Structure 1
Amino acid sequence: MNLHGPLTREVSNRIEAPPERVWALVSDVTRIGEFSPETFEAAWTRGSTGPEEGASFKGHVRRNGVGPTYWSPCQVTRCVPNEVFEFAVGTDDITLNNWGYRLEADGTGTKVTEYFRIEPRLLMRLYWTVLGPLRGRTNERGMRTTLERMKAVLER
């Protein structure tokens, strides 16, 4: 795990699959329910049909795997095939946090890094000051689980 500031966390895993195959999986938001312990489904919205900058989707989240359950609107903010897929979570006016995947070719496989970055707004900084240590550990466990599940599918 690397920390790039107090509002960011990341987890990496090496997957024995080329970046193109890993990219196809991490950028297909409709498959996240197979891997994430919290987001059990997602769908493209607002006419979006696939990964590209500006594309919209919504994720159906069961917080901490038990609830509450809610839909989170998301928008793709970085989309470089076989390299990075990142999206903002929030409304059209306010981004709460950002999630993403970075891919790096690694011999015959790919180093995959999943990360999140809390927006440094006052409300989010206060939230992170109070709940950050607990939520950060939960998110790190979730990212490890997600990457392990993706690895199992891609290395089959």
Structure 2
Amino acid sequence: MTKRIPHDEVSTEITAPPEAVYALISDVTRMGEWSPECVRAVWVRGATGPVVGARFKAWNKGGRGPAWFNWPVVTAAEPGREFAFNRSGPAIGSYTWRYVLTPTATGTRVTESFDADKLLGPVMTWLTEKWTGSPDRDADLRRGMTTTLARLKGAAEAA
């Protein structure tokens, strides 16, 4: 079983203004277009968009195992600057996913990161490794962030 890391991040340059990139990434209903693991998300409990405190339901699928879902809550929603959410719960740890947007001369530098406020416990880490078929969940998350940003870049630059 691999020891988990509490933080990782990936960045890319996108030739589009920060406000346009923010509009794409903060629309969680489109997350399935960008993420290789989060296949679907919908706003819940009366939420209709990205505001601090809004909740959404996210369905994930990784590797060969079963799909799962969680109920993230938006923790930062600053148009053109930052979008973040936290997903936590019994036995699943507490992870904050963040997208920071920095204006550049040609568009936007986007940094996607995660911070584990509370890492998965050993039993859930083992189960996750079995479900995904991967012995290194953190490497999976890094690949997922790289893929997410590449797909986001393609959509933003095509618009």
1:31 equivalent to 2:30? Answer yes
1:49 equivalent to 2:51? Answer no
Q: Counterparts of 1:1-156 in structure 2 under 5 Å?
A: 6-64=5-63, 66-91=64-89, 96-120=94-118, 124=120, 126=122, 134-156=136-158
Secondary structure at the aligned position of 1:101 is classed as: strand
Q: Distance in 2 between matches of 1:58 and 1:51?
A: 13
Q: Is the 8 A contact 2:27 2:50 kept in 1?
A: yes
Q: Quote how far apart the aligned CAs of 1:128 are.
A: 9.7
Q: Distance in 2 between matches of 1:113 and 1:128?
A: 27
May I ask how many residue pairs the two structures share in their alignment?
148
Secondary structure at the aligned position of 2:35 is classed as: coil
Q: Distance in 2 between matches of 1:129 and 1:28?
A: 29
Q: State the superposition RMSD in angstroms.
A: 2.5
Secondary structure at the aligned position of 1:155 is classed as: helix
CA 1:24 to 1:113, structure 2 compared with 1: closer, same or farther past 3 Å? same
Q: Quote how far apart the aligned CAs of 1:68 are.
A: 1.7
User: Could you tell me the TM-score, scaled by structure 1's length?
Assistant: 0.85
Q: Distance in 2 between matches of 1:106 and 1:128?
A: 40
User: Could you tell me the TM-score, scaled by structure 2's length?
Assistant: 0.83
Identity over aligned residues, as a percent? 42
Q: Quote how far apart the aligned CAs of 1:108 are.
A: 2.4
Q: Quote how far apart the aligned CAs of 1:16 are.
A: 0.3
Q: Distance in 2 between matches of 1:10 and 1:40?
A: 21
Query: Which 4+ stretches in 1 moved above 4 angstroms?
Result: 125-131
Q: Quote how far apart the aligned CAs of 1:19 are.
A: 0.2
Q: Distance in 2 between matches of 1:73 and 1:98?
A: 12
